[in-house]
Chain A
Amino acid sequence: MLRMASSFPEEVLEHVFSFIYDDKDRNAISMVCKSWYEIERWCRRRIFVGNCYAVSPPMVIRRFPEVRSVELKGKPHFADFNLVPEGWGGYVYPWIAAMATAYPWLEEIRLKRMVVTDEALELIAKSFKNFKVLVLSSCEGFSTDGLAAIAANCRNLKELDLRESEVDDLSGHWLSHFPDSYTSLVSLNISCLGSEVSFSALERLVGRCPNLRTLRLNRAVPLDRLANILCRAPQLVELGTGTYSAELQPDVFSSLAGAFSGCKELRSLSGFWDAVPGYLPAIYPICPSLTSLNLSYATIQSTDLTKLVSQCQSLQRLWVLDYIEDIGLEALAAFCKDLRELRVFPSEPFAQEPNVSLTEQGLVSVSEGCPKLHSVLYFCRQMTNDALATIARNRPNMTRFRLCIIEPRAPDYITLQPLDDGFGAIVEHCKDLQRLSMAGLLTDRVFEHIGNHAKKLEMLSVAFAGDSDLGLHHVLSGCENLRKLEIRDCPFGDKALLVNAAKLETMRSLWMSSCSVSFGACKLLGQKIPRLNVEVMDERGPPGSRPESCPVEKLYIYRTVAGPRFDMPGFVWTMDEDSALRLS
């Protein structure tokens, strides 16, 4: 029986492995024995690199020579909130350049929070003959010229998704670079683009691509052109409208309503910029079959929102502004029993006084009425421990819970106590919680609860919380599955970090900004643990020009097998053995 592993020919094992897609499973297979490692690495087709600096392109290519699909993530999550200065890094070009020669048959590239240049896009366009999927999520650094290159050259392109990227929008002309012979489009998301694309080019493109199932238009597409587009693509499954506003005209309305009715497969809607209530009824006919609705750019009030959601009995995902108010959320709880994900964004995040009647009660209602609810992002202005405890008891199946109370350090507004117990209840009851963002007034006690109970927690976001290093210590020592930890404006210093230094190698990354971690501690970490990159960001100048005990502005620690990176801007320093010598 010892020889069983070698009794199967390679081809058989390879065939078996081809049914295994999940990265974790693939990694497990590769660790069984050397020959399985070898077989597996030759047949791995898809790789995911959660931190582009954790490994280098040559290392990846050396191990996996036959990759068809690559996913990379660059900047830390807090870059979304402008906490990572421009020029920090996350450049994709070195990856594209390396893959251009190594993976000529590459089909898919998915990037998140990376800097993508036109040169990179042009290189993609001409290097990969069978290129099919390009997803640029929250990326930046490229212009519509780069898109033109993709459109013109990628004959087999199926998916072009620019979600929430920052594009230097020179003109809408790039869309016309898709040749007339190009018909393979399946998914197009240009919702982040500002300028107008040629509507006739768009309509012709849509009309000649029979497999088109996802179309997310940008704001510049006016409402009166939507019907024409829909009529050419009645097979659409996901639609993002352009501006959803126009003067109320019966003929425009009726053709729009007719067009929507014709889209029998439509399951997901988004867009709705500047939405006018008068045109909402046009989508009523398809509401019962909708599973996903993104109204988070729609400035419509709770009456209309309530009427709308009440008809969406199949709804699984809802993103909406707080205009929905508690009353709308009650309706959601009553009618949308299949709801799994809810995100409520603030309409006026900087207003001092609440502008809408959205409170903790809305979330409690939804937690009561929707048994499948497991993913929540909720911006509000008040919360109580009781409400959180109720939500926790109602929804032990919660896996992602992100709460933001607009005012930092806001206590339970009734008892004026910290919200420690409320979040404690969340982590106690929701045993499968993977992601948590906390809010309000929080002491070290909440971290004790988290350390004790949140055993499946993978990502934690903390702001304006805690009293001392003990808080951080609880998390680092207790959360066995923690991969990403991001902290801002908390009184956490050196002790917890240094005591739990080994933990950092088991995580993807740690971000700390406006805390009390000293330069000395950073140096120590960088020196002692070689497979960590300890990056200090400080716009006041070199950390060495200040005392060792001086706290650093921002700290980003991540594990890596690629060593320190060399593309850092002037305000980022890596703490490692060499730099420690240089700086002293």
Chain B
Amino acid sequence: MQLVLGGGGGVKTSSMSTVSGEGNTAMSSEDSSSPDEAELELGLGLSLGGFKAQQTAVKTKYARILTAKDLPSGVSTSSSCTSSSSSTLSRANATAGTKRSADSVSAPNGASSQVVGWPPIRAYRMNSMVNQAKSVATEEYNSVIGKNKNNTAVLDKTNNGSNMNSNNFKVRTSFFVKVNMDGIAIGRKVDLNASGCYEALAQTLEDMFLRPIPTINAMRSSAPEHNLMVDATRCPKLLDGSSEFVLTYEDKEGDWMLVGDVPWGMFLSSVKRLRIMRRSEATGLAPRLQERNGRQRSKLI
């Protein structure tokens, strides 16, 4: 009789603690469990076809996603990382639009926590709001803001200073883009606003596409292995250069670019969708990237 461990009680706990403010301290939201309940499960649980679990425990080697930072493109990279340094795996997972269990996470900097699909606003409407925030950064904005300043000054009841700009849709809205990976038929969606910077994005995508299915065995497997998994997934592997995959994006002009090249904000305003490409297919990109950056630079004021 194979004993499959840890899943039951823990999952129950994590799925209950969805109110904002309750942080999820476990490594991964799916695998969190309190030891006591896990003990209970030990006695009662029976493995049912746990062969898959065995497989995933064995599978330790997995590909890593490269971004422009890893490639010797010679272009300076910057990523303004707005997510807190203590951002954990679970945060990236839970808010990256991946439809995993709707765990809330305590977002840093006092920002309101983001439960998946809450408040219940259609993705279409959310994207419109985000697009409005972006389009507002044009010259029309300035004439508009002048008028609205007057309006809000007159009306001001509950508005505090930081909210007086009515056109300022905060970046905290979701911005979902599609992600496809070569060799995987079904695409996913990721919330770029939940990532906040390239590291977090790469981490999220690595979890989505490259992480072996985390069953309870991942938790309870032999300690060294376990730590390996934890450590491996904790630090984003953007600095290695040893992966077979590259992260690319399609911009508004239809070109495919390496991710990581331009400032995060600029990336957000031009990205349409992402693709995790095999390295062998991406070799054409770097030169184009440089050439395009040349173009871009001359476009920028």
Q: Which residues of A contact B (CB under 8 A)?
A: 78, 80-87, 138, 164, 166, 170, 192, 219, 245-248, 273-274, 276-278, 296-297, 299-304, 323, 325, 345-357, 379, 404, 406-409, 437, 461, 463-464, 488-489, 491, 513-516, 539-542, 544-551, 553-554, 569-570, 582-584
Q: Does B176 contact A (CB under 8 A)?
A: yes
Q: How far is the CB of B288 from chain A (nearest CB, A)?
A: 20
Query: How far is it, in angstroms, between the C-alpha of A578 and the C-alpha of B40 when the chains are bound?
Result: 30
Contact (A164, B124) CB under 8 Å given A348-B170, A545-B49, A546-B4: yes
Within 8 Å by CB of B158, from A80, A84, A354, A549, lies: A354
User: Which residues of A have CB within 8 Å of B100?
Assistant: 539, 553
Q: How far is the CB of A43 from chain B (nearest CB, A)?
A: 38
Q: How far is the CB of A578 from chain B (nearest CB, A)?
A: 14
User: Which residues of A have CB within 8 Å of B216?
Assistant: 546
Q: Across the A-B interface, give the 9 residue pairs with the lowest CB-CB distance, nearest first.
A: A547-B45, A81-B117, A87-B186, A350-B172, A544-B48, A546-B7, A85-B99, A541-B213, A355-B163
Q: How far is the CB of B13 from chain A (nearest CB, A)?
A: 10
Q: How far is the CB of B57 from chain A (nearest CB, A)?
A: 11
Q: Tell me if A553 and B101 are in contact (CB < 8 A).
A: yes
Which chain A residue shows the least CB distance to B191?
A: A82
Within 8 Å by CB of A464, from B19, B125, B159, B188, lies: B19
Within 8 Å by CB of B7, from A248, A299, A550, lies: A550
Q: How far is the CB of B46 from chain A (nearest CB, A)?
A: 7
Q: Does B56 contact A (CB under 8 A)?
A: yes
Which chain B residue shows the least CB distance to A518?
A: B8
Q: Tell me if B119 and A406 are in contact (CB < 8 A).
A: yes
28 example contacts (A-B, Cβ-Cβ < 8 A) are as follows: A81-B122, A82-B99, A86-B186, A87-B186, A245-B140, A246-B140, A247-B140, A247-B143, A273-B128, A274-B132, A274-B136, A274-B140, A276-B140, A303-B155, A348-B169, A350-B172, A351-B172, A407-B20, A408-B19, A437-B120, A514-B101, A541-B213, A545-B52, A546-B4, A547-B7, A549-B45, A551-B15, A553-B15
Q: A516-B12, A545-B4 are in contact. List 15 more A-B contacts (CB 8 A).
A: A81-B118, A82-B176, A245-B140, A276-B140, A276-B147, A299-B166, A300-B166, A325-B155, A351-B163, A379-B121, A489-B15, A541-B56, A545-B50, A545-B53, A547-B46
Contact (A489, B102) CB under 8 Å given A81-B117, A82-B116, A348-B170: yes
Query: How far is it, in angstroms, between the C-alpha of A568 and the C-alpha of B135 when the chains are bound?
Result: 38
User: Which residues of A have CB within 8 Å of B293?
Assistant: none
Query: How far is it, in angstroms, between the C-alpha of A192 and the C-alpha of B131 when the chains are bound?
Result: 12
User: Which residues of A have CB within 8 Å of B261?
Assistant: none
User: Which residues of B have CB within 8 Å of A546?
Assistant: 4, 7-8, 45, 48, 215-216
Q: How far is the CB of A90 from chain B (nearest CB, A)?
A: 13
List B173-209 residues whose CB lies under 8 Å from chain A. 173-174, 176, 178, 185-189
Q: Mark B95-132, 1 if CB is under 8 A from A, else 0.
A: 00111111100000011101111111111110010011
Q: Does B167 contact A (CB under 8 A)?
A: yes
Query: How far is it, in angstroms, between the C-alpha of A553 and the C-alpha of B31 when the chains are bound?
Result: 12
Query: How far is it, in angstroms, between the C-alpha of A546 and the C-alpha of B49 when the chains are bound?
Result: 9
Contact (A545, B215) CB under 8 Å given A276-B147, A301-B151, A513-B102: yes
User: Which residues of A have CB within 8 Å of B20?
Assistant: 407-408
Which chain A residue shows the least CB distance to B173?
A: A350
List B126-156 residues whose CB lies under 8 Å from chain A. 128, 131-132, 135-136, 140, 143-144, 147-148, 151-152, 154-155
Q: Which residues of B contact A (CB under 8 A)?
A: 4, 7-8, 11-12, 15-16, 18-20, 30, 41, 44-50, 52-53, 56, 97-103, 110-112, 114-125, 128, 131-132, 135-136, 140, 143-144, 147-148, 151-152, 154-155, 157-160, 163, 166-167, 169-170, 172-174, 176, 178, 185-189, 213-216, 254
Q: Tell me if B112 and A352 are in contact (CB < 8 A).
A: yes
User: Which residues of B have CB within 8 Å of A554?
Assistant: 99
Which chain A residue shows the least CB distance to B93?
A: A539
Which chain A residue shows the least CB distance to B126?
A: A349
User: Which residues of B have CB within 8 Å of A349?
Assistant: 119, 121, 173
Within 8 Å by CB of A548, from B48, B122, B151, lies: B48
Q: Tell me if B12 and A551 are in contact (CB < 8 A).
A: yes
Contact (A547, B158) CB under 8 Å given A539-B98, A540-B213: no
Query: How far is it, in angstroms, between the C-alpha of A545 and the C-alpha of B110 when the chains are bound?
Result: 38
Q: Tell me if A346 and B119 are in contact (CB < 8 A).
A: yes
Within 8 Å by CB of B120, from A404, A569, A584, lies: A404
Q: Tell me if B151 and A277 are in contact (CB < 8 A).
A: yes
Q: How far is the CB of B139 from chain A (nearest CB, A)?
A: 9
